[in-house]
Structure 1
């Protein structure tokens, strides 16, 4: 059993660490939840267990995880069909572009040109593993 990750990002350097952990994660559009009234975006995903891979394991394993952004002022999508709940996306990475301090924009970049742009009051992001890795392996 792998130790479950819980990472928090409050600046661009922290977000780069989270981005590395979610690289190549699988996301279904139905697992992208924008809670405008709460100023929160939550993305459910199956992320690759990079720690296990780097430890020499031969079969890659995926873990259920949740990526949460708080203090989000707006959420815009490009080349993502939010009306197709079963559509599969592959998360390439996350970038932060500073704006008027402490705010800016977080960009979630997906394969095939998809993107989510989050304008934030300040960067407040959390990645939490949810377990269920036995089931996650069956979904590959």
Structure 2
């Protein structure tokens, strides 16, 4: 006799998501929480109006399965239609700085414009003024065992 398929039996698949509104962005923010990246891995391409960063994100979607140790995966977070980019609390001259992403939010402006705010640990932030909200998150490598071997935790 055959059994029904279970969620736990599915093979892990790379994530590829697009946010076009603030509710969609909450999903991407939750998956990208505690991602780490070197300061050298963020780029704003003014001519194409795109901001992108290569993240090493914790695999929250598979962390409770118990099938393997804690994992991370490299992914690209891209924000489209960026007219202006600004940072606060980030020393971009120190190429050895590693940043930790806490959340991604959208502050709505007039007529669909607004700002995407990437809040970082240690009071750092990246503000991206956009004409319209379009954010993508796409895994680009296979998962790997997290070097710390631990699930990120936050004080309650």
Q: Tell me whether the two structures share a fold, i.e. TM-score over 0.5.
A: yes
Shift of 1:85: 2.1
1:67 aligns with 2:83: no
Task: State TM-score, norm by structure 2.
Answer: 0.83
Q: After the TM superposition, which residues 37-116 of structure 1 pair with which residues of structure 2 at under 5 Å, given as runs?
A: 37-57=47-67, 59-116=69-126
Provide the residue aligned with 1:126 in structure 2.
136
Q: Is the 8 A contact 2:72 2:146 kept in 1?
A: no
**How large is the Cα RMSD of the aligned pairs?**
1.4
Distance change >3 Å, CA 56–CA 139, structure 1 → 2: closer
Larger Cα-atom Rg: 2
Q: Is the 8 A contact 2:85 2:128 kept in 1?
A: yes
Task: State TM-score, norm by structure 1.
Answer: 0.93
Distance change >3 Å, CA 49–CA 138, structure 1 → 2: closer
Instruction: Please state which structure has a larger fraction of its residues in strand.
Output: 1
Shift of 1:57: 4.2
Deviations 1:41-82 (A, max 9, x none): 001010001121132346210000000001001000000111
Gaps of 5+ in 2: 1-10, 149-156
Shift of 1:133: 2.2
Q: Is the 8 A contact 2:70 2:146 kept in 1?
A: no
Alignment: residue pair count? 138
Structure 1 SS opposite 2:40:
helix
4+ runs deviating over 4 angstroms: none
